[in-house]
Amino acid sequence: MTLPSLQDKFGRTIKDLRISVTDRCNFRCFYCIPDENIVWKRKQDLLTYDEIVLLTEVAVSLGVEKVRLTGGEPQLRGDLELLIARLAKIPGLRDLAMTTNGVGLKRRASALRSAGLNRITIMCDSLKPDTFKTITRRDALQSVLDGIEATIVAGFRPPKINCVVIRGMNDDEVADFADFARAKGVCVRFIEHMPLDNGHQWDRRMLVGGREVLQRIQERHQLVPIDRDSPSETALKYAFADGAPGEIGIIAPVTMPFCGACSRLRLTADGNLRTCLFSMVDHNVRDLLRRGETRDQIAQFMIDTVLKKKAGHRINEPDFIQPPRTMSFIGG
């Protein structure tokens, strides 16, 4: 008998679940979250840890192998280590990762590792304190750099560093980030700016395409392509031709969309499944849970939701409509 799995109409199988554990964030990145007048979700609207664990168990029973905790800023959710310890014990879950801004990792990285977290991705959009502050609206570069070091010291695999490249703000630092990757032995992943900002001010002129990023790095360092770990991996990956440590990743959802190999499903902090960052519809699984529906019914709901996944994100189509939720409220 074939076990049910999460397959969409286009033959893509869902293996990755991204779980936002909170909508709150201590950064105010201009391309992501409003600077003020934010209405946070009420505590009772957020999924509890019991609910997150149950939903993850159901997802894993349907073939999900990787879970990534995100937000908002996941470290702001109280007692995150308790959730990690419970998720890490789910049989069949092969990989448990977290995307974070890195603040606070200096004192917390070891505890996260002991709890069972496998991998950490840390955002860092600039190596210059002033630019960092302009983008994130927080004076926190040193704390992020300390977090990167702490992750390595705690024995995690070298963290991936996410850098959103914005023309006129940090695009002059692309090659410096490549130097940083070499010096620290980390993978720096350059991400294209996507239309998910709060003010709906996204403008193609601010976008620095993945090819341009590569060209700028290659003016300083020769790169050689390396295989992706899996076809659904979002980043094109490169090593340094001279054998230096570190890697470069290019995540180009706008100029080189990778929807055809997408294996992701998202769960928002308030318990909605989303089939794509750019989808206009939320699928409320929290209320099903709270109505007491069985695991089988929840599983069927996940299966039906995945069948609604669209072929692609349509950013480049003339009729593209930006979703109302920003990245921080969906879970990046």
Please state the closest distance from residue 287 (CB atom) to ligand SAM, in A: 25
22 binds ligand SAM (CB under 6 A): no
Instruction: Let me know if 176 is exposed, middle or buried by CB neighbors in 10 A (0-12, 13-18, 19+).
Output: middle
Q: Which member of 178, 186, 187, 194 binds ligand SAM (CB under 6 A)?
A: 194
Q: Could you write out the three-class secondary structure of 47-109?
A: CCHHHHHHHHHHHHHCCCCEEEEECCCHHHCCCHHHHHHHHHCCCCCCEEEEEECCCCHHHHH
| Binding residues for ligand SAM restricted to 210-239, rule: CB under 6 A | none
Q: Which member of 106, 193, 237, 309 binds ligand SAM (CB under 6 A)?
A: 193
Please state the closest distance from residue 201 (CB atom) to ligand SAM, in A: 10
- How many whole angstroms separate alpha carbon 164 and alpha carbon 197? 13
| Binding residues for ligand SAM restricted to 58-97, rule: CB under 6 A | 70-71, 73
Nearer to ligand SAM, 10 or 320 (CB): 320
Please state the closest distance from residue 254 (CB atom) to ligand SAM, in A: 9
Number of residues that make up the chain: 332
Could you tell me how many residues of this chain bind ligand SAM (CB under 6 A)?
Answer: 21
Nearer to ligand SAM, 31 or 240 (CB): 31
- Binding site residues, ligand SAM, CB under 6 A: 25, 29, 31-32, 70-71, 73, 99-101, 123, 162, 164, 191, 193-194, 196-197, 327-328, 332
